[in-house]
Amino acid sequence: MKSSGQADTLDRVLVVRMSTDAEPYHFVGSGLRNVFLVGVEYEVEPATGMQSAVIPCLPNLMEAIGKVLVEKKTPLNADEVRFLRKRLRLASKAFAELVGLSSEQYSRVENGAAKLMPTVERVVRLLYATLAKLSPDESEEVAKTKWTAELNREERIVACRDEKDHWVVLTQAA
């Protein structure tokens, strides 16, 4: 016997959809608000609007997102800094020490209460490029990048899989 608050999962009807350029799948599981996927099959529960998808080649996708973030021309936001740290599987205290900040200073950065100084941001990007083992050419490109002070609130990262089933970023963060 089930309690009155329990849903009967057997009675659920799910609608299966395929994400497209016109209607990409919003991948909130990345921890970033601006990641959208094309060519991914996902399910929607009509009653609640809840969506779920099985993301193929997830490590490859996360790697592609990290690479786009360290190469983008605008400053990293709090969510992006957190994403890079988590991709490196580092605790915030350890990451803070590596980039030359106190735990408190770094906590304010990840919570959006403070911005990274340009020199510290360069260290964050290069640290990610090094520890994530980007190629020497890609790491050099990150080192040479000059970032603008403008933040584009419309930045979107849109990715799809290529013919070899690898994730490719179509629209890069500005």
2 belongs to a structural domain: no
pTM above 0.85, yes or no: no
| Mean pLDDT per 10-residue segment, the chain (174 residues) | 46 86 91 92 90 88 92 92 94 94 96 92 92 78 61 68 82 54
CB contact at 8 A, 66 and 87: yes
- CATH number of domain containing 134: 1.10.260.40
Clarify whether residues 128 and 156 are in a common domain. Answer: no
Alpha-helical regions (H) of the chain: 58-71, 78-87, 92-99, 103-110, 118-131, 136-144
Residues of the domain holding 109: 75-147
105 & 53 share domain:
no
Answer whether 25's CB lies under 8 Å from 13's CB.
no
**Assigned domain for 63 exists:** no
- Residue 14, domain member (yes or no): yes
- 156 with 143, same domain: the answer is no
In total, how many domains does the chain have?
A: 2
Shared domain for 96 and 48, answered yes or no, is: no
Residue 160: phi and psi, rounded to 5, are: -145, 170
- Residue 111 and residue 164 in one domain: no
* 109 and 89 within one domain: yes
Q: Are residues 92 and 106 in the same domain?
A: yes
Residue from 72, 86, 85 nearest 34 by CA: 72
Residue 156: the pLDDT is: 76
